Amino acid sequence: MKVLVGVKRVVDFNTRIQVKSDGSGVQTDGVKFSMNPFDEIAVEEAIRLKEAGLATEVIAVSIGGDKNQDTLRSALAMGADSALLVKTDDEIQPLMAAKILKNLVEQQQPKLVLLGKQAIDDDANQTPQMLAGLLGWPQATFASKLEIDGDTAAVTREVDAGLETLSVDLPAVVSSDLRLNEPRYIKLPDIMKAKRKPLEVIDLADLNIAASASIATLKTSAPPQRQAGIKVESSEALVAELKARNLV
Amino acid sequence: MNKILVIAEHANGVLNSSTARAVACAAAIGGEITVAVLTTGSCDVAAQAAGLEGVVSVAELTNPGNAQALAALQAPQLLEISAGYTHVLAPNSTFGKDLMPRLAALLDRPMVTDIMAVQDARTFDRPVYAGNAITTVQVDDDGLVLATVRGASWPPVVQTQAPVTVECQTSDIDLPAHTRFVALDGEQGDRPDLQAAEKVISGGRGLGAAEHFALVEAVADKLGAAVGASRAAVDSGWVPNDLQVGQTGKIIAPDLYIAAGISGAIQHLAGIKDAGTIVAINKDPDAPIFEVADIGLVADLHEVLPALTEML
Ligand SMILES: Cc1cc2nc3c(=O)[nH]c(=O)nc-3n(C[C@H](O)[C@H](O)[C@H](O)COP(=O)(O)OP(=O)(O)OC[C@H]3O[C@@H](n4cnc5c(N)ncnc54)[C@H](O)[C@@H]3O)c2cc1C
pLDDT over 70 percentage in chain B: 100
> Is there a contact between A11 and B266 (Cβ–Cβ < 8 Å)?
no
Rounded Cα gap, residues B47 and B14, in angstroms: 10
pLDDT of B165 reads 85
- Nearest atom within ligand 1 for CA of residue B263: 49
Has the ipTM of the complex gone over 0.90? Answer: yes
For B257-270, write each residue's pLDDT tens digit.
Answer: 999 999 999 999 99
What is the model's pTM?
A: 0.96
Mutate: best of A31, A129, A146, A174, partner B, most B CBs <10 A:
A129
Task: Calculate the alpha carbon distances from B279 to A232, A238, A242, B239, B304 in Å.
Answer: 10, 9, 9, 21, 12
Residue A136's H or E segment, with its range, is: none
A240 Cα–ligand 1 center, Å: 27
B231 Cα–ligand 1 center, Å: 6
pLDDT of A127 reads 98
Contact assignment for B242 to A219 by CB distance below 8 Å:
no
Tell me the DSSP string of B240-299. Answer: -GGGBBSTTSB----SEEEEES----HHHHTTTTT-SEEEEEES-TT-GGGGT-SEEEES
Over its length of 248 residues, how does chain A's per-residue pLDDT go in tens digits?
999 999 999 999 999 999 999 999 999 999 999 999 999 999 999 999 999 999 999 999 999 999 999 999 999 999 999 999 999 999 999 999 999 999 999 999 999 999 999 999 999 999 999 999 999 999 999 999 999 999 999 999 999 999 999 999 999 999 999 999 999 999 999 999 999 999 999 999 999 999 999 999 999 999 998 999 999 999 999 999 999 999 99
Q: B130: Cβ below 6 Å to ligand 1?
A: no
Name the H helices within chain A: 37-51, 68-78, 94-108, 127-135, 188-195, 235-244
Task: Judge whether residue B29 has pLDDT over 80.
Answer: yes
To test the pocket of ligand 1, the residue of B128, B202, B205, B273 to mutate (highest count of ligand atoms within 8 Å of its CB) is B205
Q: How far is B58 from chain A (nearest CA, A)?
A: 25
> Rounded to 10 degrees, what is the CA torsion of B129, B131, B136, B140?
60
pLDDT of B44 reads 85
Across the range B18-43, mean pLDDT stands at 95
pLDDT of B172 reads 80
pLDDT of B168 reads 85
Which structural domains are found in chain A, ordered by start?
Answer: 2-244 (3.40.50.620)
Task: Judge whether residue B301 has pLDDT over 80.
Answer: yes
Which residues sit opposite B169 in a β-bridge?
A: B61
> Is there a contact between B272 and B294 (Cβ–Cβ < 8 Å)?
no
For B81-118, write each residue's pLDDT tens digit.
Answer: 998 999 999 999 999 999 999 999 999 999 999 999 99
A47: Cβ–Cβ under 8 A, 6 or more apart, which residues? A58, A78, A79, A80, A184
Q: Tell me the pairing of strands A199-203 and B256-260.
A: unpaired
Please, what is the Cα angle at B245 between B101 and A98, to 5 degrees?
20
Cis amide linkage into residue A171, ω under 30° from 0: yes
Contact assignment for B129 to A141 by CB distance below 8 Å:
no
Q: Phi/psi at B25 (nearest 5 deg)?
A: -65, -40
- Nearest atom within ligand 1 for CA of residue B281: 43
Task: Calculate the alpha carbon distances from B13 to B44, B45, B47, B48 in Å.
Answer: 6, 6, 10, 9
Residue B145's H or E segment, with its range, is: strand B145-149
To test the pocket of ligand 1, the residue of B201, B207, B231 to mutate (highest count of ligand atoms within 8 Å of its CB) is B231
pLDDT of B140 reads 92
Contact assignment for B103 to A144 by CB distance below 8 Å:
no
pLDDT of A177 reads 97
A31: Cβ–Cβ under 8 A, 6 or more apart, which residues? A11, A12, A15
Task: Judge whether residue B174 has pLDDT over 90.
Answer: no
Pick the residue whose CA is nearest to atom 18 on ligand 1.
B265
Cα B107 from chain centre: 24
Q: B246: Cβ below 6 Å to ligand 1?
A: yes
